[in-house]
Amino acid sequence: MAQATNAPPLWVAVPCKGRLSFLQRTAPAWFEEANLGYCLVDFDCPDRCGDWLEQTFAAEVAAGRVVVERVVEQRYFHKAAAHNAGARRIAAAGGEYVAFVDADVSCRPGFAAWLLARLSPDRFWIAGTDAAGWEHPGLVGVLALPVSVFRQSGGFDEQFRDWGAEDLEYRLRLRLEHGLEYGEIPIELLDGLPHGDELRVEHYEVKDLERSHLRNQVYLSRKLQKRLGKSLAALDDRAQRLIRRVRHRARGPAPPGESVPAPNDDSRPSATNGATGHTR
C-alpha cells in the first residue's frame, strides 16, 4: 500500500462490530477536527459499517482523511486484533500518531489541536479522571501514542480475548518496558455514549463479563511476573496509578476450569504476527 504524503499527523483508530448506531452518532464529531484522520476497522461487522462510512462520507474518503480497514471471517469481536489492524493501516497511510478509541466515543471541539500540541515520542496519553479520581468507564480504552512506539512495542497483545484488561496491559507495558511517561487528556474533550454491559459482550464468545475480565486479569498478572519478575502490587507509584484509576469489576483467582493462556516467551506480544483472519 502506497504511503500518503499529505496524511494528517494524528489519526483515530475505531473498531466496530455491530455498533453502526454508535458510529452514526460519534463519527461526525471526529470529522470536524482539523489535522485528524479517521480509520474505521470494520471487524466483520454485520451492519457493514465500512460501507456506510464510505458512502456517507465519500468526500472525506476521497480526500484521504478517512480510511476503512476490513477484517473478514471473524465470528467474534477481538478488540486487540482490531486495534492492531487499525494502527497498521494508519502507519501505511503515513500517520505519525494514533489514538485508539471505541465506536461509542466521540470528541468535543478542540480535541485534535489540544493533543497535537502535546504529543511527543516519549509519552502516551489516556483519558483523564473525574473529580473522584476514576476514569469514565466508557473512556478507559482511550490511548494515544506515536506510531513508531506502536511498531516498537508490538501493539496490543492478542492473547487477550473477550472483554477486559488488554488496554491496561498495554499501558503498563509502555510504562514499564518501554519507559514512556503518560499524560491525561481532559475528559471535557471526550464523550462516551452510555450503554449497558450486555452490549459490551454482545459480539464476544464469552458473554459473562466478569468471567472474561477475571481470566484476562490472571493472564496479565502472570505475564507481568514472567517478563518483569514483579507482581501488580510491587509496581512503582506511577504504574500503580494506571491501575488504581480504573474501577475493577472482578478480582480473585480464575474461575474453576477456566483456561488462561500462558504468557508469551517472545519479547513482544503476539500482535506482531497480525490479526487472525483476513484483511482487505
**Of the listed ranges 131-145, 153-167, 203-217, 232-246, the one predicted with least confidence:** 203-217
pLDDT tens digit sequence for 28-72: 999 999 999 999 999 999 999 999 999 999 999 999 999 999 999
Task: Report the mean per-residue pLDDT for the chain.
Answer: 85
What local confidence, expressed as pLDDT, does residue 261 receive? 61
Inside any domain, residue 196: yes
Inside any domain, residue 105: yes
Domains: count for the chain: 1
pLDDT exceeds 70 at position 93 = yes
Inside any domain, residue 258: no
151 is in which domain, residue-wise?
A: 10-249
Inside any domain, residue 257: no
* Rg, the chain, Cα only: 18
Inside any domain, residue 176: yes
Give, to the nearest 10 degrees, the angle between helix 166-176 and helix 209-228: 20
Inside any domain, residue 221: yes
Could you tell me if 37 and 93 are in contact, meaning their C-beta atoms sit under 8 angstroms apart?
A: yes
Region 76-90 average pLDDT: 96
HSE (side-chain half, CA atoms, 13 Å) at 180: 27
Q: What is the CATH number of the domain that holds 66?
A: 3.90.550.10
Region 90-106 average pLDDT: 96
Inside any domain, residue 94: yes
